Amino acid sequence: MLPDNKAVDYTTKVDRAIIYGEPFAGKTTFAASIHNPDKTLIISTDGKYKHTQCPAVEVKSLQEFLQVLDELYSDDKFELVIIDLMSEIWNLFRQSELDKKGINYEGDANDHGKTWHLMRKGSEQLARKICNLDKKLLLLFHAEETVEKVKTKNKYGVAVEQEVTKSLPNIKDRYYTHFSSRCQLCINVQASADRRFYMSDDLGTEYTFEQAQTKLKKDMGL
Mean pLDDT of 158-176: 84
Taking 80 as the threshold, does the pLDDT of residue 154 lie above it? no
According to DSSP H, which parts of 14-153 are helical?
Answer: 27-32, 62-73, 86-101, 114-131
Distance CA 98, CA 6 (A): 50
Q: pTM of the prediction?
A: 0.88
Taking 90 as the threshold, does the pLDDT of residue 8 lie above it? no
Taking 70 as the threshold, does the pLDDT of residue 12 lie above it? no
Mean pLDDT (the chain) is 90
Q: What is the pLDDT of residue 144?
A: 85
Classify burial at 189, counting beta carbons within 10 Å of its beta carbon; exposed 0-12, middle 13-18, buried 19 or more: buried
Please enumerate in sequence order all residues whose Cβ is within 8 A of that of 56, keeping only pairs 6 or more positions apart, or say none. Answer: 41, 42, 43, 44, 49
| Reported confidence tier of residue 16, pLDDT bands at 50, 70, 90 | very high
- Give 52-100 pLDDT, tens digit per residue: 999 999 999 999 999 999 999 999 999 999 999 999 999 999 999 999 9
Q: What is the pLDDT of residue 193?
A: 65
118, HSE (Cβ side, Cα atoms, 13 Å): 15
The domain made up of 16-220 has a fold known as Rossmann fold (3.40.50)
Sign of CA dihedral 187, 177, 129, 84: negative
Q: What is the pLDDT of residue 163?
A: 79
Q: What is the pLDDT of residue 11?
A: 64
In contact, 206 and 214? CB cutoff 8 Å: no
Q: What is the pLDDT of residue 160?
A: 82
| Reported confidence tier of residue 150, pLDDT bands at 50, 70, 90 | confident
Nearest to 111 by CA among 119, 218, 2, 173: 119
DSSP state of 62: H
Mean pLDDT of 42-49: 94
Distance CA 94, CA 171 (A): 11
Decide the pairing of beta strands 80-84 and 40-44: parallel
| Reported confidence tier of residue 41, pLDDT bands at 50, 70, 90 | very high
Mean pLDDT of 137-157: 85
- Give 103-127 pLDDT, tens digit per residue: 999 889 899 989 999 999 999 999 9
| Reported confidence tier of residue 182, pLDDT bands at 50, 70, 90 | very high
